[in-house]
A = this chain, B = another copy of it.
């Protein structure tokens, strides 16, 4: 029975990929419009491709280094030998999804603009279904990767019963004739868990690099083009305008996609590992607990596709109509998922408690999104207040925006706290810890189950934005631009809620990964210090002179205890100064990482400003539209800046957890992850919301309030918007990655930490 249900999972992932392909093909049948439109789209496409090629080259080198490193660790016995390979597949599929999604977006923008020439609905449909390609390749490849690995490992481990000697070299030292089904599942899921590290690493570079790229181009284009030269946004005379449009694609499509790919895989894998570790289950029930999160994801895919078809609008649509059209899609998917989950409870796949946990996750996502909307939309007091401060100049605009950003943290934090406690309680955590964290895992899986369609609404934004840019540069008639503007505004709203969704899901995923980290430590304790040590043993650890026995015995004791006693054994209380120190360092990491990404934008934007000024100076015909600016040079500068600047913060996020593990031990690592999670989450919300609010405050002034365009208030608003750019599009989103990646890196390096401290 389980066996046949399992096939639904790879089937659903192929279904997602099939529809992605259909949507892509359908989109391609539309015309790209006038020759100018084609040419502009071509520029953007080439720029985006050039950037992505370079990024993958850099990432490729990092991957080679890491794979070699992981290989050495595997050889030394402190790393699972599957990990180097799994690491690669995780990174490969994430990169592939990003590549396909972004290519689609760059093909779609001119077609959206041209579609909008015919009707608003046509424009919406092209843009949205192109965004859906991104959503579907992410969930499709994610779940495919998970299900293939599950099948491979399952095969290997189940066969291993009769060949455990031969398999011991690949790390499956738990598997021998006496190994129970339960132990096998723990081994399989723990191994799978570590391959999320590939997705995490890829996401890091995509988010950080993409974030730096997009804002370097944007800030550069705005500062010289809009402020100094006084030409409008997306004006073809601005040399940085193509780079700016490329930036939307690499930052908001590829970067966002990689971020959520990581959350998606991470939450499913962590929950499966927590399911395998659930005590008290026997036989098929244990397997069900492992497969259940994958199954929820598979169902989510099917209903996401259904939801995508619900999105349509009439011609005279207001912003509210458009928003409702999208809400019908995402809300509809969510609702039907709950119905199907009800059936899963009925068929005893999950409990009502887990159902409650999923509801907690879904609700938390909605509330965080709405809170973001309140604090960043110009329909409400906070953003209007910022605009008003523009009357007194840039300084008070900045102070007010900072205050709004800081204040806005209360809704997401209270929501996530209630969400975590509720999911834990629904899961049964107040009776059994393991059940509780399994519940938290499901809250994350639930929140991300509709990712296929939510990511479509996210990716829709930059496509609409680019369509607007294309229409502006190709100087299409006003009614077309009005339509693309309507779509663009809709995209801004979904971008704000999408950011809330991304950080919320990152927090829940990190929570689940944190619990899974402890399982991983327990596993390695057993492997390295238990009987297994002589089997795994090699030059490094097979050392009779060291006090192996006592430490080893203690480790076995810990490894076989329940996770609560285990936490006590490691002194994971707040009275352990190593753990407290870890929390401090985690809080600091969030700030330092943000500082680095922010400075990176500053430096790259500075280079861009110099270049744009140079072109205006040295190519005198630009302003009279007699000569074309050198777009490619600006694309090149942004690309190079992003490549160079993303290395250091990225390495920091990987190295610090390992260093803390060695210096402060497991307690220090747990502290680091919790500190990074709590402060990182709060800081990310602050940065996102302050940035979003400044952006919309400026737009509010541009609508004619407080003197409108060109007034002193507007100048102040532009300063606020410029400050907010790296806040909301670079540093804030990069923190999503930091909190997940630090946990992932800790999980993958668990063996090293344990070995270092036992031996």
The reply to whether the CB of A719 lies closer than 8 angstroms to some CB of chain B is yes
Distance in angstroms between the alpha carbons of A543 and B400 in the assembled complex: 52
The reply to whether the CB of A568 lies closer than 8 angstroms to some CB of chain B is yes
Indicate with 1 or 0, residue by residue over A709-749, a CB within 8 angstroms of chain B CB atoms: 00000000011001100100000000000000000000000
Contact assessment for A393 and B602 in the assembled complex, using a CB-CB cutoff below 8 Å: no
Q: Known contacts A595-B403, A605-B396, A723-B398; is A421 also within 8 Å of B577 by CB?
A: yes
Within 8 A of B (CB), among A300-334: none
Contacts of A549 in B (CB 8 A): none
Q: Known contacts A413-B585, A679-B587; is A395 also within 8 Å of B595 by CB?
A: no
Distance in angstroms between the alpha carbons of A429 and B605 in the assembled complex: 50
The reply to whether the CB of A436 lies closer than 8 angstroms to some CB of chain B is yes
Q: Which of B572, B578, B592 contacts A573 (CB 8 A)?
A: B572
Indicate with 1 or 0, residue by residue over A356-395, a CB within 8 angstroms of chain B CB atoms: 0000000000000000000000000000000001001111
The reply to whether the CB of A424 lies closer than 8 angstroms to some CB of chain B is yes
Q: Which of B406, B581, B592 contacts A420 (CB 8 A)?
A: B581
Contact assessment for A577 and B420 in the assembled complex, using a CB-CB cutoff below 8 Å: yes
Q: Which of B392, B407, B581, B718 contacts A223 (CB 8 A)?
A: B392
The reply to whether the CB of A347 lies closer than 8 angstroms to some CB of chain B is no
Q: Known contacts A424-B577, A433-B575, A679-B682; is A595 also within 8 Å of B723 by CB?
A: no
Contact assessment for A393 and B598 in the assembled complex, using a CB-CB cutoff below 8 Å: no
Contacts of A436 in B (CB 8 A): 577
Contact assessment for B578 and A399 in the assembled complex, using a CB-CB cutoff below 8 Å: no
Contacts of A682 in B (CB 8 A): 584, 587-588, 590-591, 679
Stretch of A94-102, A123-131, A667-675 with 4 or more beta carbons under 8 angstroms from chain B: A667-675
- Closest-CB distance, A606 to chain B (whole angstroms): 7
As for how many copies of this chain the complex holds, the number is 2
Residue in B closest to A215 when the chains form the complex, CB atoms: B399
Distance in angstroms between the alpha carbons of A105 and B555 in the assembled complex: 62
- Closest-CB distance, A357 to chain B (whole angstroms): 12
The reply to whether the CB of A693 lies closer than 8 angstroms to some CB of chain B is no
Indicate with 1 or 0, residue by residue over A552-582, a CB within 8 angstroms of chain B CB atoms: 0000000000011001100111110111110
Contact assessment for A399 and B674 in the assembled complex, using a CB-CB cutoff below 8 Å: no
Range of interface residues on chain A?
Answer: 35 or more
Q: Known contacts A587-B413, A596-B407; is A399 also within 8 Å of B577 by CB?
A: no
Distance in angstroms between the alpha carbons of A581 and B415 in the assembled complex: 10
Contact assessment for A575 and B577 in the assembled complex, using a CB-CB cutoff below 8 Å: no
Contact assessment for B719 and A395 in the assembled complex, using a CB-CB cutoff below 8 Å: yes
The reply to whether the CB of A409 lies closer than 8 angstroms to some CB of chain B is yes
Contacts of A595 in B (CB 8 A): 402-407
Instruction: Output the residue of A591, A592, A609 with the most chain B CB within 10 A.
Output: A591
Distance in angstroms between the alpha carbons of A424 and B571 in the assembled complex: 15
Contact assessment for B406 and A598 in the assembled complex, using a CB-CB cutoff below 8 Å: yes
Can you list 19 A-B pairs with a CB-CB distance of less than 8 A? A223-B393, A392-B609, A393-B719, A396-B605, A399-B598, A400-B599, A402-B595, A402-B723, A404-B595, A406-B591, A417-B584, A421-B578, A421-B581, A433-B575, A511-B580, A573-B573, A587-B682, A588-B682, A679-B679
Chain A contact residues, CB within 8 Å of chain B: 219, 223, 227, 389, 392-396, 398-400, 402-407, 409-410, 413-414, 416-417, 420-421, 424, 429, 433, 436-437, 440, 511, 515, 518, 563-564, 567-568, 571-575, 577-581, 583-588, 590-592, 594-596, 598-599, 601-602, 605-606, 609, 670-671, 674-675, 678-679, 681-683, 686, 718-719, 722-723, 726
Name 14 extra pairs, CB < 8 A, besides A424-B577, A429-B577, A587-B587.
Answer: A219-B396, A392-B609, A402-B723, A406-B594, A420-B577, A420-B580, A515-B575, A572-B573, A583-B583, A583-B678, A584-B678, A584-B682, A587-B681, A719-B719
